[in-house]
């Protein structure tokens, strides 16, 4: 019944904790401590959003997502979002604004994702992440939103980021 | 360099896998297999949404969320959403429709959440989950959406579910 660390690895730790609830008894909680991340809704002058598709072993499929990555130690979330956009798509956003932030699944993990909007895009000298196999997919924001509502875009940060962007653009 | 299971617990498993990427080398992936869940955007006749606030040890705070829970073995996601709404709020939704579905964080976990919209609410004979300390919070959908955009509502399924509901109601 004592808290313990099960695993400490590259991007996460697994802890088992016992939490006393209203019934006065300790209840097991399995908790994953995960590094925070940042993602970018990058929209070009013609209203197209830059997404990336990459293999995700955790779900056994390639997933269409906002450009995103883990925040390096000491890095500001906005810098992570800028950096990942360049690394993953080869584009730089000259204007970057905060959009929303949320825990991906607070029932078991502290992973927090900060989402930004990037506009005024320009091509950068991109060196794609060596480790990553990433395809850049560009589509009109409206098409991306249709795919969200049809559950064809199925990544929480991408669903939430695109919908928040649409609301910001059209708050009524 | 062989795949292995680190932990198998109540709601999750932790696996370490080695994935060969384009560079021909194996890369470590830390993967959490997690039971899927379902959540409900429950809106009453006056346009108020039923949310719940509960302590979340993983993030060290009480978090405002859609009523939600793990899908029991053999249970359809829509039944989970109906059941959790009753258990957590004491209300039953007579009309329930699918809204969106997504992976909470496909970079490390297969956790999938199905979101439904529940309307035509009626009070049920609620027995609150014994294990859970849950406060029901009711607010106009528009107020909830403002809190999303101000990052005061900070749970991915709740952010995505509320924004998707708003888009469904007002797709322009």
Please choose, from the candidates B94, B100, B104, B113, the residue with its C-alpha nearest in 3D space to the C-alpha of residue B42: B94
Reported as type and span, the H/E element at residue B79 is helix B77-89
Could you count the other beta carbons within 10 Å of the beta carbon of residue B70? 17
Q: Which residues contact A47 (CB under 8 A, 6 or more apart)?
A: A140, A141, A142
Q: Are B19 and B2 in contact (CB under 8 A)?
A: no
- Domain coordinates in residue numbering, chain A: 1-34, 36-169
Residue B40: is its pLDDT beyond 90?
yes
Closest residue, chain A, to B17 (C-alpha): A57
Tokens of residue A71, six digits: 């925040």
Q: What is the pLDDT of residue B172?
A: 57
Report pLDDT for A132: 64
Q: What is the pLDDT of residue A131?
A: 58
Phi-psi region of A47 (alpha: psi -120 to 50; beta: other; left: phi over 0): left
- pLDDT: which is higher, A171 or B114: B114
Q: What is the pLDDT of residue A130?
A: 55
Bridge partner residues of A160 (DSSP): none
To the nearest whole angstrom, how far is the Cα of A31 from the nearest Cα of chain B? 6
Find the CB nearest A104 among B149, B156, B163.
Answer: B156
Three-state helix/strand/coil letters over chain A? CCCEEEEECCCEEEEEEEEECCCCCEEEEEEEEECCEEEEEEECCCCEEEEEEEEECCCCEEEEECCEEECCCCCCHHHHHHHHHHHHHCEEEEEEEEEEEEECCCCCECCEEEEEEEEEEEECCCCCCCCCCCEEEEEEHHHHHHHHHCCCCCEHHHHHHHHHHHHHHCCC
Kindly report which listed range (A139-148, B16-25, B66-75) carries the lowest average pLDDT score.
Answer: B16-25
Q: Cβ contact (<8 Å) for B58 and A6?
A: no
Residue A42's pLDDT band, with cuts at 50, 70 and 90, is: very high
Q: Which residues pair with B52 in a beta bridge?
A: B65, B136
The CATH T-level fold of domain A36-169 is: Nucleoside Triphosphate Pyrophosphohydrolase (3.90.79)
| Axis crossing angle, helix A156-169 with helix B156-169, rounded to the nearest 10 | 50
Residues 6+ apart with CB under 8 A from A39: A65, A66, A67, A68, A81, A84, A113, A114, A115, A116, A157, A158, A161
A136 to chain B, closest Cα gap in Å: 16
Q: Is residue A29 pLDDT above 80, yes or no?
A: yes
Q: Which residue in the set B10, B104, B170 is minimally distant from A28, CB to CB?
A: B10
Distance CA A35, CA A59 (A): 19
Question: Complex ipTM above 0.90?
Answer: yes
Structure-block tokens of residue A135: 């395809």
> Among residues of chain A, what percentage have pLDDT more than 70?
94
Report chain B residues whose CB lies below 8 A from the CB of A5: none
A157-167 per-position pLDDT tens digit: 999 999 999 99
pLDDT given at position A169 = 85
Q: Which residues of A touch B39 (CB under 8 A)?
A: none
Of A110, A131, A133, the CB nearest to B58: A110
pLDDT by residue (tens digit) across A63-96? 999 999 999 999 999 999 999 999 999 999 999 9
Of the candidates A130, A131, A132, A152, the residue annotated as catalytic is A130
Q: pTM score > 0.90 for this model?
A: yes
User: Do B160 and A155 make contact, defined as CB atoms within 8 angstroms?
Assistant: no
HSE of B71 in the Cβ direction (CA atoms, 13 Å)?
19
Q: pLDDT digits over A112-146, tens only? A: 999 999 999 999 865 565 556 889 999 999 999 99
Rounded distance between C-alpha atoms, residue A163 and residue A141, angstroms: 10
Separation of alpha carbons A49 and A117, rounded Å: 10
Find chain B residues with C-beta within 8 A of A36's C-beta. none
Active site residue B97: no
Condensed to tens digits (0 to 9), the pLDDT of residues B78-131 reads: 999 999 999 999 999 999 999 999 999 999 999 999 999 999 999 986 556 555
Residue A23: its pLDDT value, please? Answer: 83
Mean pLDDT (chain A) is: 93
| Sheet strands (E) in B36-134 | 37-42, 48-56, 61-65, 68-70, 91-103, 112-123
| B42–chain A Cβ distance below 8 A for any pair | no
Interface of B with A in 67-96 (CB under 8 A): none
Using DSSP, state whether B82 is helix, strand or coil.
helix
């Amino acid at each position: 019944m004592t808290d313990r660390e099960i695993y400490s690895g590259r991007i996460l730790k697994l802890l088992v904790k016992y939490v006393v609830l209203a019934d006065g008894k300790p209840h097991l909680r399995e908790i994953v401590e995960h590094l925070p991340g940042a993602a970018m809704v990058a929209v070009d002058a013609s209203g197209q959003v830059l997404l990336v598709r990459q293999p995700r072993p955790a779900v056994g499929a390639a997933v269409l997502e906002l450009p995103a990555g883990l925040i390096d130690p000491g890095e500001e979330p906005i810098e992570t979002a800028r950096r990942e956009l360049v690394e993953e798509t080869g584009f730089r956003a000259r204007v970057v604004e905060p959009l929303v932030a949320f825990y991906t699944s607070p029932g078991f993990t502290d992973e927090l994702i900060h989402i930004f909007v990037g506009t005024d895009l320009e091509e950068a000298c991109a060196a794609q992440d060596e480790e990553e196999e990433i395809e850049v997919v560009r589509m009109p924001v409206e098409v991306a939103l249709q795919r969200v509502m049809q559950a064809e875009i199925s990544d929480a940060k991408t669903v939430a980021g695109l919908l928040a962007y649409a609301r910001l653009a059209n708050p009524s």
